Amino acid sequence: MDKIRLGKTDLIVNKNGFGALPIQRANKEDSEKIIKKAYENGINFYDTARFYTDSEEKLGNALKDVRENVFIASKTGMETVEEFWKDLETTLKELQTDYLDLYQFHNISFCPKPNDGSGLYEAMLEAKEEGKINHIGITSHKYTIASEAIESGCYETLQYPFSYLTGEKELELVKRCEKLDIGFIAMKAMGGGLIKNSKAAYSFMMNFDNVLPIWGIQKESELDEFLSYQENTPEMTDELKQAIELDKKELGNDFCRGCGYCMPCPEEIEINTCVRMSLWIRRFPTEPCLTEEYQKKMEKTQECSQCMQCIDKCPYELNIPELLKENYEDYMNVLTGKTKIV
Residue 72, SS3 per DSSP = strand
Residue 253, SS3 per DSSP = coil
What's the pLDDT tens digit per position in 200-219? 999 999 999 999 999 998 89
Average confidence (pLDDT) over 237-261: 85
- Sign of the Cα torsion 233, 235, 236, 238 reads negative
> Are 124 and 116 a contacting pair, CB within 8 Å?
no
Q: How confident is the model at residue 250 (pLDDT cuts 50, 70, 90)?
A: confident
pTM of the prediction? 0.87
Q: Does an H or E element contain 3, and which?
A: strand 3-5
The yes-or-no verdict on residue 2 having pLDDT over 90 is: no
Average confidence (pLDDT) over 313-341: 91
What's the pLDDT tens digit per position in 109-150? 999 999 999 999 999 999 999 999 999 999 999 999 999 999
Non-local (6+) Cβ contacts of 5 within 8 A are: 11, 12, 13
What's the pLDDT tens digit per position in 255-267? 888 888 898 999 9
The yes-or-no verdict on residue 231 having pLDDT over 90 is: no
What region, left, alpha or beta, does residue 188 occupy, with left being phi > 0 and alpha being psi -120 to 50 degrees?
A: left
The yes-or-no verdict on residue 340 having pLDDT over 90 is: no
Which has the higher per-residue pLDDT, 119 or 254?
Answer: 119
Share of the chain above pLDDT 90, in %: 78
- Report the alpha-carbon distance of residue 139 to residue 118 in Å, rounded: 18
The yes-or-no verdict on residue 254 having pLDDT over 80 is: no
Average confidence (pLDDT) over 152-169: 94
Average confidence (pLDDT) over 191-203: 90
Residue 71, SS3 per DSSP = strand
The string of DSSP codes covering 267-300 is T---HHHHTTHHHHHHHS-SGGGGSHHHHHHHHH
Average confidence (pLDDT) over 233-246: 92
The yes-or-no verdict on residue 279 having pLDDT over 90 is: no
What's the pLDDT tens digit per position in 35-70? 999 999 999 999 999 999 999 999 999 999 999 999
Average confidence (pLDDT) over 297-310: 94
Bridge pairing between strands 3-5 and 102-106: unpaired
- pLDDT mean across residues, the chain: 93
Q: How confident is the model at residue 25 (pLDDT cuts 50, 70, 90)?
A: confident
Q: How confident is the model at residue 280 (pLDDT cuts 50, 70, 90)?
A: confident
- Report the alpha-carbon distance of residue 10 to residue 200 in Å, rounded: 28
284-294 CB burial, b ≥16 within 10 A, e <16: eeeeebeeeeb
Average confidence (pLDDT) over 167-174: 92
What is the per-residue pLDDT for 161?
Answer: 93
What is the per-residue pLDDT for 172?
Answer: 95
